[in-house]
Amino acid sequence: MVSLDLATLSVRDANAQLRTLGEAGEDVEILNPDARHHIGVGLTAPIHVTVQGSAGYFCAGLTDQAQFNVSHNVGWGVGDNMYSGSVVVGGNAGAIPGVAIRGAEIVIKGNMGSRAGQVMKAGTLCCAGNANFMAGYMMYGGTIIILGDSGERVGEDMSGGRIFVAGKVQDLGSDAMLTDLDQKEIESIHEFLDRYGSKAPKGFSKIVSAGKKLRYGTPETPMRSIPFNTFSGHSAYWNPKVQEDIAIKAQSGRYRIRGYGGARPLPHLSDIGFRKDLTDAGTHRDVVAKVRMETEIGGINGARPLKLSMPVMIAPMSYGALSRSTKYAIAMGSAMSGIAENTGEGGMSDAQRDAAGQLIFQCLGGRLGWNIHDMRRADALEIYISQGAKPGLGGQLMAKKVTPELAQIRGIPAGIDLRSPSRHPDILGADDLVIKVEEFREATGYQVPVSVKLGAGRIRDDIKIASKDGFDFVELDGMQGSTGAGSAEVIDNVGIPTLPAIIEAVEALEEINARDKIQLVLMGGLRDGIDAVKALCLGADAVAFGTSVIVAGGCISCMQCHIGQCVTGIATQDPAHEKRYQPEVEASNIHRFLESVRWQIAAITQALGYDDVTSLNREDLVALTPEAADITGLPCEPPGSDASQRQVGVVS
Amino acid sequence: MCGIAGVMYRGGDKDFSTGEALIRMLDGCQHRGPDSTGFALYAPEAPGRLKLRFFIDPASESDDESAIAAIRQRLVDLGAAIEEEARAGDNYRVTIRYDGDVQKLSYEMEHAAKVISIGTSLEIVKDVGSAHDVDDRYHVNEFHGTHGLGHVRLATESDVKPEASHPFWATGFADVAIVHNGQITNYWKMRRRLEQRGFEFTTDNDSELIAVYLADKLAQGVKLQDALSTSIDDLDGTFSFLVSTGDEIGYAKDRLAAKPMIMYEDDELVAIASEEVSLNRLFPGRALNTREPAPGTYATWSRST
């Protein structure tokens, strides 16, 4: 047994030693913990850790196999996302004990705080005392045993798993119901309690999902889809898409769900032009070799940066919304072009990891597929706060796409209409977020960049918070970004467009003198290298492409992504459809598209008079419409003026 | 978005090192708010005297001496007799004898200068930077008293400047201060109703509202615990806040418990903080039997009990 004394050692140093001792199989005792956060975070060895005193937030978080014993209390999120192993807490636990666990055993001898076991998938959380409100909130699986009273709204919106309460069931949550226990369950509870030296009470109430909210009541009537480009605010008031919407809602009685991005015309990068005459752009042979485009993202606070061959990456899109083959093709295509791919929600696969040169691993509120092992093999981490297409809302994945295989990876019941949580269990404000960022850094030894994805909303405040909370980079997503499934009303009416988003983000950072303290990656309806150069001129350090990469890889823009029967095999989990998709062929198509982007960036940069993309700046741009001028503060030189004559579309 | 802390020592009017205790507690949770730090410190009152603190803006065009002279003059005009005065950091601190209406004095002085606090026993010290930065500038560690509150702030929606930091003094009411973690969403609605009744607000910060709301109730003769009880119904949003008066300290927590709060109590003291790590700073190396206040609850402690 080795003793680590936190009176003289920082948690960061202690955790580094814990990992080494873990590999050596040495048990550890932590002295003078004094309720400090992140004790034991990221430990993946089967050792015993005894904490003599109280631990703070995320004790034993993001671990696998280790066994923890805390003599006194723990703060929020004990055992966060544990895969296996155990934690025994001698005293009380703060809010969200056992949050997002995937198989560990957590025993609290005292009382536990609110939202115990939120979004847990498997394993057992046991509390010898009373639980606070919403125990089992949005749990997907596993077992919660409460020997005292349940607290209010127990089992709120649970979609799987079981909650056993020995004391009083104060109040059932939405879509939770009482049911009978069978003998086998009683025996297994007794066996569990025996193992942890707790006395089994006489009887239990059992709470499970009532199942009324797992599926949408009325499915949407399938209709022949109206293509993306035949409707918009420019067409007639009662255009075919409006009629279709009304007809479908007359059947379903609820909001519509669709894929793809907003269809409303909004000021965008196409309303921006270049100040200079670009007639000669691209006339140089080998222009790509003449412009420096290599870009490092994420190294600003000392982590290992992403090394991009050009200031471009792939936008986060989930395995779930997209088929496994599509994610595989994008990984290959991005690697061929030397840029980074992003897992999106729903976990990382070996094939994707192997194929992608550099891979960003995305963490969402549901923690679907999130785990310490994949965090370690990621090249960057990303905390998703919201998304441009549907800020403030979680992802939606219709039952057709929630196959047993996909459900297993995410840790959820198969065949439900999955509505991912819109909020993180442990990020209720900027003050919590800073503790979360630190947990991720501890778990990955401060080696992996940590970023935040923000749907453009309250940009000025949010960007400042991102900078203060110590993120390495922000992925800022404007309203024109797409989604695999979202409410049509939200997609077209809620977000803030990409153009004002980048302007406000840059201004916000300048206001607090933090422009060099965090990097900005802009996404949301960027289509090609021309858009990319404009974004770089406006202050982005890099851009990300989502929809254009999907289109390059075979998407026909039918907007039926949510249905799950994508004819191209992209937005589907049905093997019959997926087999139409040829990952190797589409990877080459994606690669060729990305190379056209590279060529465009190089050609325009050179025509603007530079040999390095970092030289691009606002002075290179003009606004082509009064609205774009208002938004950007650029001089307005509308079509018909000299400036508009100068602007050319550079074609590769 | 912040961390809060409060401490009250039992044992009447004895002097305790409350400044040092709060510095330690806030240093323990500084990660929750790196932008600014503040303290509300209570010492036994001196009868008939009021302690006032003002910001003297170092960036202002007029020089400090003339700004202070103007404050002095205004106080004398309002019938105050100046007894003691001092400069501390960017503050001007003055003790006066005054037997008029404190609310009138407060508003008049607020119109003439930036008032930080007015009290018979309360003094507020707050500025940008960490607990140790503020201590270096204002020597908070030398402060002895009976109880106090502290706050570390991460500015989310308003500017990083001393006057936007906590604790908030209940403008117009001597000796009432609060620290708040969270966000009051019916701020404007509540503020307009209080303004209708003649109250003035000196910032657009939602936390100032809590202070004025509670002080108004106290001035009407409502007990602090009853004012806290109605605050849980009347205030919308997320909050864990601490309030202090000349002889009481109390907390209230919203029903969603979105903002953490944990407390420790023994024969010597009551201490409350956002995180246990702050409480442990008072007792290094000791595992504490702490308690998490339940959602939607409030409580008060009095110096005399």
Q: What's the pLDDT at A234?
A: 56
Q: What's the pLDDT at A115?
A: 97
State yes or no: cis peptide before B167, omega within 30 of 0: yes
Residue scoring higher pLDDT (A399 or A12): A12
In angstroms, the CA B304 to CA B245 distance is 13
Q: What's the pLDDT at A224?
A: 61
A34·B277 Cβ contact <8 A: yes
In angstroms, the CA B148 to CA B126 distance is 13
Q: What is the pLDDT of residues A327-344, one digit of tens each?
A: 999 999 999 999 999 999
Alpha helices by DSSP H, chain B: 18-28, 64-77, 102-112, 131-138, 187-196, 206-219, 224-234, 276-280
Structure tokens at B131: 């607990």
User: How far is the CA of A126 from the CAs of A180, A322, A507, in angstroms?
Assistant: 19, 37, 49
A132·B294 Cβ contact <8 A: yes
Handedness of CA B82, B87, B89, B90 (dihedral sign): positive
Of the segments A212-216, A563-567, B265-269, which one has the largest average pLDDT value? Answer: B265-269
Q: Which of B1, B2, B184, B189 is catalytic?
A: B2
* Residues comprising chain B, all counted: 305
Residue scoring higher pLDDT (A335 or A647): A335
B287·A434 Cβ contact <8 A: no
Percent of chain B at pLDDT > 70 equals 98
Question: If you measure CA to CA, which chain B residue comes closest to A431?
Answer: B32
In angstroms, the CA A348 to CA B218 distance is 58
Largest CA distance in chain B: 55
| pLDDT above 90 for A652 | no
Q: Which residues of B touch A91 (CB under 8 A)?
A: 287, 289
A114·B238 Cβ contact <8 A: no
In angstroms, the CA A7 to CA A12 distance is 13
B276·A435 Cβ contact <8 A: no
Active-site annotation holds for B2: yes
In angstroms, the CA A354 to CA A349 distance is 9
Q: Which residue has the tokens 């607090």?
A: A512
Residue A473 bridge partners (DSSP): A451, A519
**Which pLDDT band, with edges at 50, 70 and 90, does A648 fall under?**
very low
User: How far is the CA of B84 from the CAs of A614, B50, B74, B87, B103, in angstroms?
Assistant: 59, 11, 16, 11, 21
Residue A126 bridge partners (DSSP): A107, A145
Q: Which of A559-563, A614-618, B35-39, B232-236 has the lowest mean pLDDT?
A: A559-563
> In order of start, what are the domains of chain B with their CATH numbers?
2-45+121-302 (3.60.20.10)
Q: Provide the shortest C-alpha distance from residue B41 to chain A (in Å).
A: 24
In angstroms, the CA B34 to CA A442 distance is 20
A461·B157 Cβ contact <8 A: yes
Residue scoring higher pLDDT (B304 or A348): A348
Q: What is the pLDDT of residues B59-90, one digit of tens each?
A: 877 788 889 999 999 999 999 999 999 998 89
| pLDDT above 70 for A581 | yes
Query: A449: Cβ–Cβ under 8 A, 6 or more apart, which residues?
Result: A297, A298, A299, A303, A304, A305, A306, A379, A380, A381, A472, A473
- Helices (H) and strands (E) in chain A — how many of each? 18, 27
Q: What is the pLDDT of residues A593-604, one digit of tens each?
A: 999 999 999 999
Q: Which residue has the tokens 């890889």?
A: A553
In angstroms, the CA A590 to CA A597 distance is 11
Alpha helices by DSSP H, A36-140: none
Q: What is the pLDDT of residues A293-325, one digit of tens each?
A: 999 999 999 999 999 999 999 999 999 999 999
A429·B3 Cβ contact <8 A: no
Q: What is the pLDDT of residues B200-229, one digit of tens each?
A: 998 888 999 999 999 999 999 999 999 999
In angstroms, the CA B110 to CA B117 distance is 10
CA B211-B215-B219 angle, to 5 degrees, is 175
Q: Percentage helix, strand, coil, to 5, in chain A? A: 30, 20, 50
Percent of chain A at pLDDT > 70 equals 96
Nearest to B292 among A52, A113, A435 (CB): A113
Q: Which of A216-230, A534-548, A609-623, B269-283 has the lowest mean pLDDT?
A: A216-230
Q: What's the pLDDT at A563?
A: 84
Q: What's the pLDDT at A279?
A: 87
Mean pLDDT of B268-287: 96
Q: Which of A36, A96, A431 to mutate to test the interface with B (most CBs of B within 10 A)?
A: A431
Mean pLDDT of B163-173: 89
| pLDDT above 60 for A650 | no
Closest by alpha carbon to A110, among A164, A152, A70?
A70
| pLDDT above 70 for A458 | yes
Q: What's the pLDDT at A651?
A: 38
Q: What's the pLDDT at A336?
A: 98
Q: What's the pLDDT at B120?
A: 94
Q: What's the pLDDT at A223?
A: 64
Q: What's the pLDDT at A272?
A: 96
In angstroms, the CA B4 to CA B20 distance is 15
Q: Provide the shortest C-alpha distance from residue B26 to chain A (in Å).
A: 14
Average pLDDT, chain A: 93
Q: What is the ipTM of this complex?
A: 0.91
CA B52-B54-B55 angle, to 5 degrees, is 160
**Which pLDDT band, with edges at 50, 70 and 90, does A488 fall under?**
confident
Neighbours of A651 (CB within 10 A): 12
Q: What's the pLDDT at A170?
A: 94
Mean pLDDT of B257-280: 95
User: How far is the CA of B182 from the CAs of A206, B127, B225, B230, in angstroms?
Assistant: 35, 20, 20, 18
Neighbours of A113 (CB within 10 A): 29
Q: Which of A86-95, A117-126, A238-247 has the lowest mean pLDDT?
A: A238-247
Q: What is the pLDDT of residues A77-98, one digit of tens each?
A: 999 999 999 999 999 999 999 9
Q: Which of B156, B256, B263 to mutate to test the interface with A (most CBs of A within 10 A)?
A: B156
In angstroms, the CA A414 to CA A615 distance is 50
Average pLDDT, chain B: 92
Q: What's the pLDDT at B187?
A: 94
Question: Is residue B3 exposed (0-12), middle (13-18) or buried (19+ Cβ within 10 Å)?
Answer: buried
Q: What's the pLDDT at A256?
A: 83
In angstroms, the CA A542 to CA A339 distance is 11
Question: If you measure CA to CA, which chain A residue comes closest to B258?
Answer: A428
The type of residue at A218 is T
Q: Which of A5, A34, A57, A74 to mutate to test the interface with B (most CBs of B within 10 A)?
A: A34
User: For A450-480, b where at least 16 C-beta lie within 10 A, e where not — what string?
Assistant: bbbbbbbbebebbbbbbbbbbbbbbbbbbbb
Q: What's the pLDDT at A598?
A: 98
Mean pLDDT of A62-78: 98
Q: What's the pLDDT at A235?
A: 58
Structure tokens at B144: 């002895």
Neighbours of A556 (CB within 10 A): 13
> In order of start, what are the domains of chain A with their CATH numbers?
2-209 (2.160.20.60), 240-262+286-612 (3.20.20.70)
Which chain A residues have any C-beta within 8 angstroms of a chain B C-beta?
7, 32, 34-37, 52-54, 56-57, 71-73, 75-76, 91-92, 94-95, 111, 113-114, 132-133, 428-431, 434-435, 438, 461, 464-465, 468, 512
Nearest to A431 among B33, B285, B286 (CB): B33
Q: Which of A152-161, A189-198, B165-174 has the lowest mean pLDDT?
A: B165-174
The type of residue at A600 is Q
| pLDDT above 90 for B48 | no
Handedness of CA A483, A486, A491, A495 (dihedral sign): negative
Contacts by A240-245, CB closer than 8 A, 24 or more apart: A245/A488
Contact B261, B276 (CB under 8 A): no
Q: Which of A174-188, A230-244, A608-622, B120-134 has the lowest mean pLDDT?
A: A230-244
Closest by alpha carbon to A240, among A263, A219, A261?
A263
| pLDDT above 70 for A649 | no
- Is residue A492 within a helix (H) or strand (E), and if so which, with residue range? helix A488-493
The type of residue at B145 is G
| pLDDT above 60 for A645 | no
